[in-house]
Structure 1
C-alpha cells in the first residue's frame, strides 16, 4: 500500500468547527494528525464535537493533539487550570505530579484528544531563558527526570499519549526558537550530563513520543538543528538510545526553521533524519507546499520507503494504544481540589518573606497588562490582582507599562512616609532587568519565577497566576496557608 505524504504530517485548523472545506482537505490529502490551539476551542461541548468530527474524517489512526502542559500553557479556560511544571518541581512530590497529569489526561480524554505535547523535559539551567522557564520542572537533572517520567506515566494511565520535549534540550538557550535559531555550544560530555540525561531516561522508559528542538548542537551536528539532524534523531535517539516510540518535530512554522530552511525542504530533511511526523502548521499554502515536497521525495526515493513505512507503523501503533474516542462520562469533579492542593504545595518564599499584617495599608505596583506571547497565555492584569487583594487589605494600585519609568527611590520614600507597605507584583513571561532598582517590602512573583533574581526583596513565588494559584497566594497573604515548596533553581 502506498504511503501518502499527508499521513506523515500534522496540520492545524482555522477555527472551532470542522467546516466542509477543511474536512475535504484532510480527506483528500490523507492527513494523519491535527494539532488544536486556542482558536479551535470555545467550550467543552464544542470541543467534543470538533474532536468527534475529526475522528470520523481522520479514521481509525486519528491523532488529535494539543499543548496542555499546565500553568500558562493551556488552551481550555473552561476547566480548572493545572499547576505549571515548576510549581510541581517546587512541591517535589512525584506522586502528586503523576496524579496531576492523570487528571490532565482525563480532561483531554473526555473530549477525544489522545495526544498531549507534555511534559516539558528541559533542564532549565539558563535563568534568562525566554521560552521555557516555569514550563520546566527546574534546573536539576534528577528533579526533571523524576517528575517528567511521573508526568508521562500519569498521562498514559488515563489513555493519553505523552510527548516529552524539546529533545535534546531547550533549557540553556538565550533565544526563543519561535523567533530565531538558537545554538547550545557545550561539549558532548556536558550535554550528556545535563540536557541529554532526562531524555536518555525517557528513551529507556520508551515514553510514547519525543518532540524535537529547533536548536543547533555543534557537539552533535555543526550544521543542522536537532529537528533536521540524522546524527541527533537516528544516531543518538534511535541507535544509541534504542528508542522505538514516535518522533515528531516541533512546528516547522517557527522562524528557526521557516526563516532558514523553508517549510517543504525542511520537512523532507526532518523525515529523512529520523522524524516520524512533521508539524506542518500554519497557512494552507504552507501546508500544501510541505505536502508537495514530501510527496515528491516519496516518489523519487529521497525518502526511503522502508523508513517511511516504519514511521507510519509507529504512528499507527500510537493511535491504537491511545484511541481518539470521546469519554463524555469521564469524572472530572475532583480535579479542581487536586489542582488547588498542588498549586498551594508549590508556593515558595525567599529572603524571609512573611504575610503583611491584616488591615495593613498596601500599595500594589504591577504591570497594567501582560499580553499573550507565542505559546504562553497572557499574564495577570494589575487590576485583577488588586481586586482580589481588596477583600483583605486596604489597597492602592499603581499600574505601569514600562518598569524603567518607575522612580523607585522616590516611590519607596513616599510610601514609607504614608505608612503604606509596597508590594511589587511581577506577572509577565519575561524577566525585567529594569526592576533591579526596585526595593519593595514584598515581591509577589506570579509568572516568571526567575524574576526573584532581579528584585532583591522578600518574595512569594507561585509559578503561575491561574485562579487556583491566586487562591493559594491569597491564602498565604491572609496567613491561612504555608509556603512549603522549595525553589527548584539556585537563588543567585
Structure 2
C-alpha cells in the first residue's frame, strides 16, 4: 500500500491539522457498522452469548477446552499475549489450528484473532511497529511515521493470520510518570496531533485488512502517577471541559476514518459518572461515545479481570454489567479459558432470563457479526 504524500510543516500544529484533514477527506470510509441481521438464527443462548466473548489461554498451546468452545460456537475470538508467542511461525500455526476449529463450528464468520501491537514496549509479536507512540510523535515527520507504524502493524498481524489489533492508543499525555507516560504509549500532549497521528495509524493499518481499536475512551492521559487500572481503582481528576475538549477530541477523527472498534477504560470519570468505570457506564458508552462522538462500530472492554473492578463481583457479574452498559465484546484476559466460559454462561443466563434487554443484546451480536463479516 503506497504511503500518502505528506506535505506539511514538520512540527507545527497547522501542519498536523492539514494532514489530518487530508486523511479524513481522502482516506475516510463510512464510520462504524450498522446493526443488521446477525446470521444467528437457530443459535442457542449460550452460542449467542459466545459471540460476544474473547477468550485467552496460558502458554504456547491452546487447550482442548478452547478448541471445544470454538467448535461449539461459543467464542467470538481469542486474544494473544507474549506468553502465547515464541515466533511468528509458531503463532501462525496456532492461528491456523484455531481457524480450523472455527470452520467446524455452526458460525460461518471468522474468529476475531487479536493482540496488542502498539509499538515500542507494547508489542506481542517481534517486528513492526518498532517505535513507540511517543517516538512516532517526536519524529521529524510524525504523520508519515504514524502511517508507517500502522502499515507495519497491519502487515505483521496479517502475516501470522490475525485480524484485529488493539491499537492505537489515543490517550492525550498529561501527567508525567503515569502508566501511559512510562510506557511511551501516547503520541502527544496535543489532542490535535493525537487525532492526526491516530487517524494515520488507523487508515494505514485497516488498509491491510486488520481492524484497528482506538483506546482507552474517554482517555487516560490524566491518570495519576503510580496508579494503573490493571492493579487497582483509578479515578481521573479531569473536569468535563478537559474531557470533551482534550481527551475525547481524537475520537471523532478516528470515527470519521472508519475505526472498527473502540476500547473503553476501567477508570472512573466523576465528571461523567461518579459511580462506575467507563466500561460499565451506560452514560459514557451511550451518551459520550455513541451519542456525542457518533461511534457506530464495536465496543470492547479492557481486561475483564482488572483489579480496578474488584468491587463489581465475579467475572460473570462483570460481563453482564458491561453488556448492560452497552459493551459489545467482553475481553477475558486471565489466560484461563474457564473465565471466558464463565462470562459466556453468565451472559446466556442473563439473556434468557430477561436481565439483559433482548433487543439490545441482539444488536450487539449484529455489530460483532458485521465486523467479522468484513474480516478474513
TM-score over 0.5 for the pair: yes
Q: For 1:166, what is the secondary structure of its paired residue?
A: strand
State the distance in 2 between where 1:53 and 1:185 align: 46
CA distance 1:224–1:19, change in 2 (3 Å): closer
State the distance in 2 between where 1:199 and 1:183 align: 21
Alignment check: 8 A CA contact 1:257 1:263 kept:
no
Query: Are residues 1:267 and 2:319 paired?
Result: yes
Query: Are residues 1:168 and 2:235 paired?
Result: no
Q: For 1:222, what is the secondary structure of its paired residue?
A: strand
Map 1:330-349 to 2 at 5 A.
Answer: none
Alignment check: 8 A CA contact 1:206 1:243 kept:
no
2:300 is aligned to: 248
TM-score, structure 2 normalization: 0.81
Alignment check: 8 A CA contact 1:5 1:29 kept:
no
User: C-alpha offsets along residues 44-82 of structure 1, whole Å, 9 cap, x if unaligned?
Assistant: 2211111111122234331000000110011123x3552
RMSD: 1.7
Query: Are residues 1:310 and 2:363 paired?
Result: yes
1:103 is aligned to: 152
Which one of 49, 65, 70 corresponds to residue 93 of structure 2?
A: 49
2:175 is aligned to: 126
Question: What residue ranges of structure 2 are gaps of 5+ in the alignment?
Answer: 1-40, 104-108
State the distance in 1 between where 2:291 and 2:243 align: 18
Q: For 2:215, what is the secondary structure of its paired residue?
A: strand
How many residues are matched? Answer: 322
State the distance in 1 between where 2:356 and 2:51 align: 14
Alignment check: 8 A CA contact 2:233 2:267 kept:
yes
In terms of Rg, which structure is larger? 1
Which one of 112, 125, 130 corresponds to residue 76 of structure 1?
A: 125
User: C-alpha offsets along residues 329-365 of structure 1, whole Å, 9 cap, x if unaligned?
Assistant: xxxxxxxxxxxxxxxxxxxxxxxxxxxxxxxxxxxxx
Alignment check: 8 A CA contact 2:252 2:294 kept:
no
Q: For 2:237, what is the secondary structure of its paired residue?
A: coil
2:374 is aligned to: 321
Query: How many Å apart are 1:206 and its aligned residue?
Result: 3.3
User: C-alpha offsets along residues 102-147 of structure 1, whole Å, 9 cap, x if unaligned?
Assistant: 1221111011000000000000101121244411102111111110
State the distance in 1 between where 2:311 and 2:180 align: 18
Which one of 227, 232, 238 corresponds to residue 284 of structure 2?
A: 232
Alignment check: 8 A CA contact 1:216 1:223 kept:
yes
TM-score, structure 1 normalization: 0.63
State the distance in 2 between where 1:130 and 1:47 align: 28
2:66 is aligned to: 22
1:469 is aligned to: none
2:198 is aligned to: 148
1:289 is aligned to: 342
CA distance 1:319–1:63, change in 2 (3 Å): same
Alignment check: 8 A CA contact 1:203 1:237 kept:
no
Q: For 2:220, what is the secondary structure of its paired residue?
A: coil
User: C-alpha offsets along residues 167-206 of structure 1, whole Å, 9 cap, x if unaligned?
Assistant: 1101110210011111113321121111111123323433
Alignment check: 8 A CA contact 2:50 2:344 kept:
yes
2:209 is aligned to: 159
User: C-alpha offsets along residues 294-322 of structure 1, whole Å, 9 cap, x if unaligned?
Assistant: 11111111222221222112112222222
Alignment check: 8 A CA contact 1:82 1:104 kept:
no
Query: Are residues 1:89 and 2:133 paired?
Result: no
Query: How many Å apart are 1:97 and its aligned residue?
Result: 1.2
State the distance in 1 between where 2:54 and 2:338 align: 14
Alignment check: 8 A CA contact 2:110 2:375 kept:
no
